[in-house]
Amino acid sequence: MSGDTGQKQSRIARALVRKPLRKADQRLGFAGMGREALGKVFPDHWSFMLGEIALYCFIILVATGIFLAMFFDPSSSDTTYIGSDPALHGQEVSSAFASTVSLSWDVRGGLLMRQVHHWAANIFICAIVLHLCRIFFTGMFRKPRELNWTIGVTLLVLAIFNSFAGYSLPDDLLSGTGLHIFYSVFEAVPIVGPWLTYFVFGAGFPGPHIIPRLYALHIFLVPALLAALIGAHMLVLIRQKHSHFAGPGRSDANVVGSRMWPAYALRSLSLLCAVGAVCFFMGGFAQINPIWTWGEFKSYSIISPSVADWYIAWIEGGLRLMPPLEIHFWGMTVPNQFWPSILLPGLTFGLLYAWPWIDRRLTGDRGTHHVAAAPTSSPRRFVVGVVVITFFSVLLVASGEEAIVMWTGVPVGTIRVTLRVVALALPFVTGFIAWRVARGRLPAMGVVEEEMEESTTRELHESPIWLSAKARKQQVEPAGGAEEIEAEQVAEP
Q: Rounded to an integer, what distance in angstroms lies between the CA atom of residue 101 and that of residue 107?
A: 10
State the DSSP code for 146: H
Burial class (CB in 10 A: 0-12, 13-18, 19+), 311: buried
| Span 20-74, pLDDT tens digits | 777 777 777 777 777 777 778 888 888 999 999 999 999 999 999 999 999 999 9
Sign of CA dihedral 267, 234, 480, 447: negative
| Span 210-246, pLDDT tens digits | 999 999 999 999 999 999 999 999 999 888 878 888 8
| Span 424-445, pLDDT tens digits | 999 999 999 999 999 885 443 3
**Which alpha helices (DSSP H) does 307-343 contain, by range?**
310-321, 338
Written as one letter, the residue type at 150 is T
pLDDT score of 443? 43
Helix/strand/coil for 93: strand
| Span 302-336, pLDDT tens digits | 787 788 899 999 999 999 999 988 888 887 888 88
Backbone angles phi, psi at 478, to 5 degrees: -70, 140
For residue 162, pLDDT beyond 60: yes
Give the closest residue to 74 by CA, choosing from 200, 167, 212: 212
Q: Cβ distance 113 to 72 under 8 Å? A: no
Q: Strand 256-259 vs strand 41-42: parallel, antiparallel, or unpaired?
A: antiparallel
| Partners of 333 in the β-ladder | 328
Is-cis flag, bond preceding 206, omega within 30? yes
Q: Rounded to an integer, what distance in angstroms lies between the CA atom of residue 95 and that of residue 77?
A: 6
Burial class (CB in 10 A: 0-12, 13-18, 19+), 325: exposed
Buried b / exposed e over 86-124, threshold 16 CB at 10 Å, is eebeebebbbbbbbbbbbbeebeebbbbbbbbbbbbbbb
pLDDT over 90 for what percent of the chain? 57
For residue 483, pLDDT beyond 80: no
- Comparing 334 with 120, which gets the higher pLDDT? 120
Q: Rounded to an integer, what distance in angstroms lies between the CA atom of residue 413 and that of residue 399?
A: 14
* Structural element, H or E, at residue 329: strand 327-329
Q: Give the fold, CATH level 3, of 43-316.
A: Cytochrome Bc1 Complex; Chain C (1.20.810)
Q: Strand 78-80 vs strand 92-94: parallel, antiparallel, or unpaired?
A: antiparallel
Distances (CA, A) of 292 to 65, 86, 105, 263, 418: 21, 10, 9, 47, 36
Give the closest residue to 422 by CA, choosing from 404, 398, 405: 398
Q: Rounded to an integer, what distance in angstroms lies between the CA atom of residue 334 and that of residue 218?
A: 31
Distances (CA, A) of 475 to 272, 486, 492: 35, 6, 22
Q: Strand 332-334 vs strand 327-329: parallel, antiparallel, or unpaired?
A: antiparallel
* Structural element, H or E, at residue 34: helix 31-38
pLDDT score of 26? 76
Band (pLDDT 50/70/90 cuts) for residue 198 is: confident
Q: Rounded to an integer, what distance in angstroms lies between the CA atom of residue 31 and that of residue 326?
A: 65
Q: Rounded to an integer, what distance in angstroms lies between the CA atom of residue 192 and that of residue 102?
A: 39
Mutual angle of helices 146-168 and 173-187, in 10-degree steps: 120
pLDDT score of 149? 97
For residue 460, pLDDT beyond 70: no
Q: Cβ distance 385 to 133 under 8 Å? A: yes
* Domain ranges, ordered by start, for the chain: 43-316
Give the closest residue to 260 by CA, choosing from 269, 252, 251: 269
- Comparing 487 with 9, which gets the higher pLDDT? 9
Kindly report the average pLDDT of the chain as a whole number: 85
Q: Rounded to an integer, what distance in angstroms lies between the CA atom of residue 467 and that of residue 208?
A: 70
| Span 374-401, pLDDT tens digits | 999 999 999 999 999 999 999 999 999 9
Torsion angle (degrees, nearest 10) of CA 105, 108, 111, 113: -160
